[in-house]
Structure formats: structure tokens, C-alpha cells
């Protein structure tokens, strides 16, 4: 199969910082190391309750430790020095017949390392050896105590917004993707839209987003719940650390795109692997797998505002298609987690809320017999409607949002998508389109299953203008970006 990426189908992604004293890098993990019921932080040494999409070290297992990750012979992320493990629940589609199918994961995942120091500081501490944490709560099924959409951050100092309970749920994002429109801002919507909304508005899928807390007690990270040693700053990504959590660590932010558009027009519902059709129970885990001295050097050195790993001289970068598989326990080797499944793997029941579910959390591993299989008759999840809103350029008084300010120029991949409501916003910068006569930079051949893909690379220099803050000249090759586009539309 020959795939030609035409100029009209290219997406230019340029993230523009308004908070000029910060830097970041985004770690691409294009392939999974496992898709399985593994979770060493919650169900150490046993099979976990639900399926996770797992990225990172080949040393990952049901009982993986920091030493196991570091000793792994490979990583599915592009920087070979990163043997960390990153995982989140997978997304499934439940058809009208009751069967479940794993939704295609597009382009793996991105793990952003956002380098936000505490106020008045110019330095940041790296994760220590053995560090691990969980963000989110698998049992949440509502967000009813708070306004939709979010109130202005200037009001977050007052109850009930000045609490970790609010910040934890504000750290979830479900970004409706339609590359024919200006993108939504990150963390704009804190629940999963229902099937009707996704079909009508999200022609290019759904991007699930998760912000981790970045304020550490500095005392220990071996806590039973994998959470109480950490806290969110006052504005989730930025802001002040609360009392008792003085050490600022890199701010981790996960992005994972799922191809929900493949199911447009099909009756059914989307549900996370933990039995959550609302999205409120989305969560993620992180186990640090860097050499701590090297990571500290990277935090101090890799401060190019481009965010690209290629701009860090310390990183050894491998091919993005590198395969690195974790070893599954024998009990999971033949478990069907992909398609035509009569129940969610692990027989996880679907719980729509608003009452919380009763799944396992860290410190309370899965015990006893599995519940009865989910029924297709489950009532639709009670989620609100939050209409499309374009993400505008960020003013200097606001905080940077990953994915919140970038320009896209790529056609939608589904016909008949309803138009979004008319909104008045400052438009995101738009990249100059490629000429139809642009020559190809190089040709690359890769295999995907039984197909051989021919990818034709192009090169261009793009000028991006941010109408609210500054004008940024961004020269350079777009080989990585064009490859990402290919994955996003395959």
C-alpha cells in the first residue's frame, strides 16, 4: 500500500509559550509495550482489574520495580535513556449487540515533561530513583459539585475550587478532535462526551489528557495509595504548591488519541476499560525509569521551548517504530483484549454513576471472584454537554496549555460532521501551506501487518505568528511532524 502525504493533508504543530520562563519536552512513545491487565502499583504481583495501554520499559511486569524498569533491554519511547513506565486505561466500544472492541490508539502516546519551577525559583528537582505516582481516581463517576465549563482561574482561590478534590478532576481532559477547526484547549472538558456528540463533532477522534500532580512532600514516595505524597499546584499545571509540599518536580502530562471516529454511525457506547462510560474515572500511573543524575541534567539542559526531543543534546533518539514488548504472565498470554469480547476484560461491570464505582485502588488489590459480565442494557452515562470552544492564543497572564495553541491544516476523515457553534475567538496561528510543487525530502518504507507503506517526506520552513503575544520564527525540518500526521490519519 502506498501512502502519499499531500501538502493539503499536512498538519503543522507549533506550541507557543506565553510563560517564557518555562521549558518542556514531550516524550513520544509511538508503540505500546503491552495492552494487558497489568498494574504493579495497584495489583502488585497479581492480575489487575482492568486493561491498560502501557508504554515504556520492556522490564514492565505485574510486579515491576524501579530496578526492573532500569534493567529492561528496551523502551517503546523514543529516548533510549527513558526506561520509565506510563499507563492509562484503554478505551473500548460496546456495540448494540453487547460485544466490546478495543478502539484503535492513534500514534501511541505523548508524555510531556513541563518544567515549571516554584515561584521565585529558577531550578527544578528531577524525580528521584524509585519514584512513582497515580493521578485520577478509577471510581469517580461525577463532577457535579463544580461549574461546567470551568470558572475563571482567578476565582479558584475560593471554595470549593481551592481543594485537591477539585484540582484532581480538573486535571482530566477529553479533547474533541476535528482537524478542520481550530483545536479545543487542553483540559477544557473533564468528562467523555457521549456517542451522539462524538459522532456529530469529533471527526478525527478523541484525545484523552491527564495532568499529574507536581508538588512533592520531599520525604517519601513509598505510600500505600501512591498519591498522598503528591499534590497539585493551585492551577493544576501552574500556580503555587500547597503547604507541606515544597518540592516542585517536573509536571507530567499525558496525551493519548483514540480513533472514536471509526465507529461513527454505529449504535453503542464508548467505555473505559475500568467500566467507566463517563470519563470521570480516567486515571494514569507513572513509574520513574531514568537514571536520576541523567534526568537532573536533562531538566537543567533540555530547556528549548520547541519541546522536541531532537533539540536536547543529551538524548539518544531511536526510531519511533521501535518495538519493545513487556513480558506477560502466563495467565494473560491468551486473554482476548482486542475484539468480539462479550464482556470487558476481567468482567468489569459498567457503572455510569453518579454514585462511585467500587473498583480496586492502590493499596486495595483485586480479590475474590470477578463480577458478572456487563449488560448492553446499561443506561447511557449521565454526562453534561459542553459545546465546542476553540482554544485561543494564551495571554501572558495565563498558563500554557499543551495542545491548546497550535495550527492544523488537515481535512476531516468523516463526511457529514455537524458544524460547530459559531464562536468569537482570537484565531490560533496558521501555518503557510506547502506548495503543490514541493519536492520530496526523502522516501521511507515501513511495514504494518501485511502492508508495506511508502512514506514520502517533505521539507518546509514555516513562519508562525501569535497575534496575542509575540511573533515566533520557527525554521527547521518537519520530518517528525509529517510522520506524526501519517500516523494520525492512518
Residues 262-291 pLDDT 10s: 999 999 999 999 999 999 999 999 999 999
Q: What pLDDT score was predicted for residue 36? A: 98
| Mean pLDDT, the chain, whole residue set | 78
Domain assignment present for residue 416? The answer is no
Domain assignment present for residue 13? The answer is no
Domain assignment present for residue 484? The answer is no
Residue of higher predicted confidence among 200 and 485: 200
CA separation for the pair 243, 232 (Å, rounded): 11
Q: Which domain holds residue 306?
A: 20-389
pLDDT > 50? residue 131: yes
Nearest Cα residue to 113 out of 227, 22, 8: 22
Burial call 112-129: b when 16+ CB within 10 Å, e when fewer: bbbbbebeeeeebbbbbb
165 falls in which pLDDT band (50, 70, 90)?
very high
Q: What pLDDT score was predicted for residue 6? A: 37
3-state SS of 466-485 is CCCCCEEEECCCCHHHHHHH
Residues 342-360 pLDDT 10s: 999 999 999 998 999 986 6
149 falls in which pLDDT band (50, 70, 90)?
confident
pLDDT > 70? residue 255: yes
Burial class from Cβ neighbours inside 10 Å (0-12, 13-18, 19+) for residue 234 reads middle
Rg (CA), the chain: 21
Residues 319-340 pLDDT 10s: 998 999 999 999 999 999 999 9
Domain assignment present for residue 241? The answer is yes
What predicted TM-score, i.e. pTM, was given to this entire model?
A: 0.76
pLDDT > 80? residue 57: yes
Domain assignment present for residue 455? The answer is no
Is the distance from CB of 105 to CB of 273 less than 8 angstroms?
A: no
Residue of higher predicted confidence among 21 and 411: 21
Is the distance from CB of 237 to CB of 210 less than 8 angstroms?
A: no
Phi, psi of 480 (to 5 degrees): -65, -40
Residue of higher predicted confidence among 340 and 475: 340
Domain assignment present for residue 51? The answer is yes
Residues with Cβ within 8 Å of residue 292, at least 6 apart in sequence:
126, 127, 128, 129
Domain assignment present for residue 159? The answer is yes
Residues 102-123 pLDDT 10s: 999 999 999 999 999 988 888 8
Domain assignment present for residue 72? The answer is yes
pLDDT > 90? residue 295: yes
Q: What pLDDT score was predicted for residue 380? A: 52
Domain count within the chain: 1
The 3-state DSSP class for residue 154 equals helix
431 falls in which pLDDT band (50, 70, 90)?
very low
Residues 10-22 pLDDT 10s: 333 323 333 334 6
The 3-state DSSP class for residue 113 equals strand
Q: What pLDDT score was predicted for residue 464? A: 42
The 3-state DSSP class for residue 307 equals coil
Amino acid at each position: 500500500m502506498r501512502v502519499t502525504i499531500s501538502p493539503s493533508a499536512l498538519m503543522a504543530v507549533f506550541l507557543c509559550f506565553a510563560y517564557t520562563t518555562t521549558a518542556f519536552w514531550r516524550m513520544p512513545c509511538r508503540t505500546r509495550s503491552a495492552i494487558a491487565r497489568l498494574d504493579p502499583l495497584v495489583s502488585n504481583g497479581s492480575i489487575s482489574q482492568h486493561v491498560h495501554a502501557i508504554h515504556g520499559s520492556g522490564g514492565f511486569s505485574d510486579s515491576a520495580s524501579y530496578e526492573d524498569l532500569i534493567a529492561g533491554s528496551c523502551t517503546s519511547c523514543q529516548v533510549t535513556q527513558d526506561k520509565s513506565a506510563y499507563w492509562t486505561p484503554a478505551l473500548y466500544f460496546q456495540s448494540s449487540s453487547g460485544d466490546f472492541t478495543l478502539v484503535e490508539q492513534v500514534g501511541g502516546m505523548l508524555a510531556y515533561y513541563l518544567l515549571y519551577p516554584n515561584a521565585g525559583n529558577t531550578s527544578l528537582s528531577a524525580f528521584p530513583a524509585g519514584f512513582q505516582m497515580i493521578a485520577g481516581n478509577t471510581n469517580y463517576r461525577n463532577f457535579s459539585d463544580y461549574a461546567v465549563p470551568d470558572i475563571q482561574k482567578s476565582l479558584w482561590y475560593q471554595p470549593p475550587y481551592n481543594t485537591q478534590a477539585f484540582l484532581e478532576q480538573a486535571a482530566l481532559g477529553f479533547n474533541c478532535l476535528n482537524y478542520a477547526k481550530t483545536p479545543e484547549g487542553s483540559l477544557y472538558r473533564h468528562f467523555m462526551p457521549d456517542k451522539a456528540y462524538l459522532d456529530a463533532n469529533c471527526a478525527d477522534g478523541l484525545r484523552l489528557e491527564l495532568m499529574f500532580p507536581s508538588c512533592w512532600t520531599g520525604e517519601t514516595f513509598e505510600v500505600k495509595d501512591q498519591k498522598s505524597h503528591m499534590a497539585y499546584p493551585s492551577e493544576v499545571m501552574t500556580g503555587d504548591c500547597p503547604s507541606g509540599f515544597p518540592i516542585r518536580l517536573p509536571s507530567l502530562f499525558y496525551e493519548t488519541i483514540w480513533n472514536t471516529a471509526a465507529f461513527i454511525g454505529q449504535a453503542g457506547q464508548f467505555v473505559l476499560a475500568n467500566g467507566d462510560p463517563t470519563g470521570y474515572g480516567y486515571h494514569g500511573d507513572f513509574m520513574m525509569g531514568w537514571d536520576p543524575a541523567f534526568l537532573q541534567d536533562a531538566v537543567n539542559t533540555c530547556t528549548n521551548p520547541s519541546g522536541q526531543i531532537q533539540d536536547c543534546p543529551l538524548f539518544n533518539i531511536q526510531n519511533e517504530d521501535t518495538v519493545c514488548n513487556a513480558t506477560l504472565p502466563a495467565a494473560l498470554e491468551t486473554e482476548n483484549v482486542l475484539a468480539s469480547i462479550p464482556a470487558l476484560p476481567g468482567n468489569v461491570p459498567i457503572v455510569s454513576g453518579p454514585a462511585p464505582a467500587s473498583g480496586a485502588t492502590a493499596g486495595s488489590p483485586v480479590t475474590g471472584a470477578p463480577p458478572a459480565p456487563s449488560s448492553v442494557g446499561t443506561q447511557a452515562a449521565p454526562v453534561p454537554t459542553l459545546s465546542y470552544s476553540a482554544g485561543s492564543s494564551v495571554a501572558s497572564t495565563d498558563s500554557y496549555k499543551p495542545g491548546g495553541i497550535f495550527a492544523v491544516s488537515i481535512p476531516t476523515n468523516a463526511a457529514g460532521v455537524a458544524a460547530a457553534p459559531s464562536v468569537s475567538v482570537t484565531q490560533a496561528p496558521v501555518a503557510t501551506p506547502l506548495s503543490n510543487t514541493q519536492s520530496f525530502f526523502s522516501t521511507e518504507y515501513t511495514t504494518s501487518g501485511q502492508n508495506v507503506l511508502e512514506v514520502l517526506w517533505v521539507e518546509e520552513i514555516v513562519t508562525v505568528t501569535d497575534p496575542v503575544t509575540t511573533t515566533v520564527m520557527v525554521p527547521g525540518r518537519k520530518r517528525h511532524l509529517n510522520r506524526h500526521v501519517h500516523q494520525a490519519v492512518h
